[in-house]
């Protein structure tokens, strides 16, 4: 099942958000679909992306997106707002996406790694 860029207005994730954030979300979903089958799970305040297990999630903000990437190791990079250890070797990394330029090769490599380790 491909993740879709369908807006989740019924649950309020995109209510009152800018068109730029909607476009940013569309681009992110398009890039995730390039990795392979992605299941999108709607949560109360977030959207989770899974390939067998969760590998990423987003929280839609007014002018940006908080992206959480789950990997099997700590990524040390200045772009990380926060890093949480979930289990011994499982880490959630939070990255802020403000513009389409933030969805670059570096970010896509982290998402690819997370995707492939979750399936």
Sheet holding 39-42, edge to edge: 39-42, 47-51, 53-60, 65-71, 90-97, 80-87
Report the CATH fold assignment for 9-118.
3.90.1150
Residue 17 pairs in a beta bridge with none
What's the whole-model pTM score? Answer: 0.88
For the chain (119 residues), the mean pLDDT of every run of 10, in chain order, is: 46 77 94 94 91 95 95 96 94 97 97 93
Burial of 112 (0-12, 13-18, 19+ CB in 10 A): middle
pLDDT of residue 14: 75
pLDDT of residue 18: 86
pLDDT of residue 84: 97
pLDDT of residue 2: 53
93 contacts 71 by C-beta, under 8 angstroms? yes
Tokens of 117: 């380790």
pLDDT of residue 66: 97
């Amino acid at each position: 099942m491909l993740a879709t860029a369908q807006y989740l207005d019924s649950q309020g994730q995109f209510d009152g958000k800018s068109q730029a954030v909607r476009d940013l979300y569309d681009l992110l979903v398009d890039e995730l679909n390039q990795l392979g089958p992605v299941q999108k799970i709607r949560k109360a305040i977030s959207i989770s992306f899974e390939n067998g297990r969760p590998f990423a999630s987003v929280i839609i903000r007014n002018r940006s997106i908080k992206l959480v990437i789950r990997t099997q190791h700590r990524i040390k990079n200045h772009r990380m707002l926060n890093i949480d250890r979930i289990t011994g070797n499982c880490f959630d990394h939070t990255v802020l996406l403000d513009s389409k330029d933030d969805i670059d090769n570096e970010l896509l490599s982290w998402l690819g790694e997370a995707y492939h380790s979750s399936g």
